[in-house]
A and B are shown apart, each in its own frame.
Chain A
Amino acid sequence: MKQENKMEIKPQAMAIPKETDKLEKGKYGPIYPKTPACYGFSILAKIIPGREPVFYEYAKKIETAVAATPNYLAALKLHYLRWVLFPIKGETYFMYQGIFDTDFDKYTEDAVALFMGAGLNTVFENLEGFPKDWKTNPEAFVKFVREHQQPSFLEYGEYPFVTADEIKKALRIKSALSEMLDQLQ
């Protein structure tokens, strides 16, 4: 880790050039580097007209599922997920953005397996072009995700390259230290 063994935490930004010819080529196209904001994806797609209410119902469902099982999404090694609906010329689009610690290029199939297992797929069924046979055709699901992933052109990290595991450990240490100091009173 770039910041390891240093008390100073120095914010960093990274510009990602439009030209991809210098990037290594992977199975799904150019492989984007890890940035100060870790790895991530931004999946953008048009929703099937009239389906907005399904997205809001889905939001409640996920809220309930995570409350009941807090580790529901742990295997994705996430920092944040954001789901956004937004209009372009009177039509509704969907953005699904995730920040996490593993390389999405390597973990696309894991993500799809987890979406399928955790019921996260259901909302994708309301997107235009989503393969109807996704349950028996994981390759088509992967392809859809890859085709709708848009790379960032700039990313910023206030605490660059730090993993969610490290943040959680630091918070636990702080809490333990605080408890220890209380006991010394």
Chain B
Amino acid sequence: MSTTVPGLELDDIQSGVLRPRPAPYAATYIALRIDDLKAGQQLMQNVAKVVTSAANPSSPTADTWVSVALTYQGLKALGVPAKSLESFSWEFRQGMAARAKDLGDVGESSPENWEKPLGSPEFHVILVAVSPDAQSLEAALARARKTYEGMTGVVAIWRQDCHALPNEKEPFGFKDGISHPAIEGSGIPGTNPKERPLKAGEFVLGYTDEMGGVQKTEPEFLGRNGTYIVFRKLHQRVADFRKYLKANATSEMDEELLAAKMMGRWRSGAPLALCPLHDNPELGVDSKRNNDFLFQQDDAAGFKTPGGSHIRRMNPRDAEIAGVARIHRMIRRGTAYGPLLPEGVLDDDGADRGLIFAFVGAHLGRQFEFVQSQWINDGIFFGGNNDKDPLVGATQPGESFSVPRRPVRRRLQGMPRFVVTRGGEYGFMPGIRALRWLAGLEA
């Protein structure tokens, strides 16, 4: 049961903010450039009518939504005054490309190699349409397109279509979209019954957060009920991943175990914490049980779920780590793009496939950037030296992955980099009243 926090203004919060994405899903990302202030304001006015609110989370249409977010450059293009601009978070004002080094976006993942126009200053607005199927997505997209079509001062500059792969799996073949935090007052239950709901201020500006603070902007109503978002286009080297498993495992069963040790879950979604020796597909699809576990009491050393595995890095739960895990929690959503690499194929077919990663949270620095730099691309926090996330880390040549095992650990040497950043941006997703203010309608 989630508790209701009096005063959480769900009718002003965009519906894409607090909920997990539907499963299955279809989604489209559209980027817009604002060339003219008046046109930009008109766009905001149109968008404010299309965006739905987070009220009525259990309504049958709640799973289809259009959301809008602005980059820092986008707020500037809308003529937001300097004093207001400065009141937004430092990381947001830099933009993702400027934060590349901290995020591990170096080498082939560095901004000069990004897909254009990702990371460029002309990226102003991002529209996201999400729905449970292609048909309702088309209806949502039609509403989204109407907000800018035919306008001379607003130009669509990029589009990415995403769709669920069979069995709700991401391109490497793991079940996706399992974990979602509980948020006080959202009316949407979290997936881990053992996690105390997080304060709304961790995800929405204008409310008390886990540290007792409240994120505010100037003027206050501009930020209130808004949130920061991150989206990243992540190319996945599926053939390389399969080849690596084959080359480093002793049998097909061992390949699956190795994959599970890297993820912290079997491909079915069943967590190693609950079934460490064999997969349990029924558990994998049971949303009441597949995220109901902690680490510290019976697996402090990571014999079941390695400290360096993906899910234990993304959410160490109650494990003993450096710092305080609760101030680094976030909403994450993945939507796959590109064709499925048919099962068993070990050679790359040259197709671009991967995931659009989306983050929602009130603290870009201590949530998204912290997790990226300290939990994904470093291992000191759990006592694991400098090893990175074996699946999504910015792995450098010569790095390894350790699997705790009795009597001796299993160490995977020469880990390749399986995920390459194709680009992304930081955005601010305003409350619905703030959208009208940005449209010049409300003072």
Interface: A4 (CB within 8 A): yes
A157 within 8 A of B: no
Q: Is the CB of A75 within 8 A of B374?
A: no
The stretch from A47-55, A89-97, A110-118, A147-155 touching chain B is: A110-118
For the complex, what is the distance from the CA of A165 to the CA of B101, rounded to whole Å? 27
Separation of A110 and B326 alpha carbons in the complex (Å): 10
B327 engages A109 (CB within 8 Å): yes
CB-nearest residue of chain A to B216: A139
For chain A, the count of residues having a C-beta within 8 Å of the partner chain is 30
List the A side residues contacting B212 at CB < 8 Å.
Answer: 116, 135-138
Q: Which residues of A contact B90 (CB under 8 A)?
A: 27
Chain A contact residues: helix, strand, loop or mixed? helix
- Contact call A113/B322, Cβ cutoff below 8 A: no
Q: Taking the complex as formed, is A1 at the interface, i.e. its CB lies under 8 A from any CB of chain B?
A: yes
Chain B residues with CB under 8 Å of A110's CB are 322-324, 327
User: Could you tell me if A76 and B324 are in contact, using CB atoms closer than 8 angstroms?
Assistant: no
A61 interface contact, C-beta 8 A: no
Q: Which B residues touch A19, using CB under 8 A? A: none
Of residues 10 through 32 on chain A, the ones whose CB sits less than 8 Å from some CB of chain B are 24, 27
Q: Give Cα distance in the complex from A103 to B91, angstroms.
A: 18
Would A76 and B322 be within 8 Å (CB), given that A106-B370, A110-B327 are in contact? yes
Question: Does any Cβ of B come within 8 Å of A77's Cβ?
Answer: yes
Judge whether B213 and A101 touch: CB under 8 Å.
no
Which B residue's beta carbon lies closest to that of A24? B101
Q: Bound complex: CA of A109 vs CA of B211, how far in Å?
A: 9
- Point out which of A71, A109, A112 has the most chain B C-beta atoms below 10 A from its C-beta: A109
**CB<8 Å pairs between A and B, sample of 22:** A24-B101, A27-B91, A75-B323, A76-B322, A77-B380, A102-B322, A102-B381, A103-B374, A106-B373, A109-B327, A109-B366, A110-B324, A110-B327, A111-B323, A113-B211, A113-B324, A114-B323, A135-B212, A136-B213, A138-B213, A163-B380, A165-B383
Residues in chain A within 8 A of chain B (CB atoms): 1, 4, 24, 27, 71, 74-77, 101-103, 106-107, 109-114, 116-117, 135-139, 163, 165-166
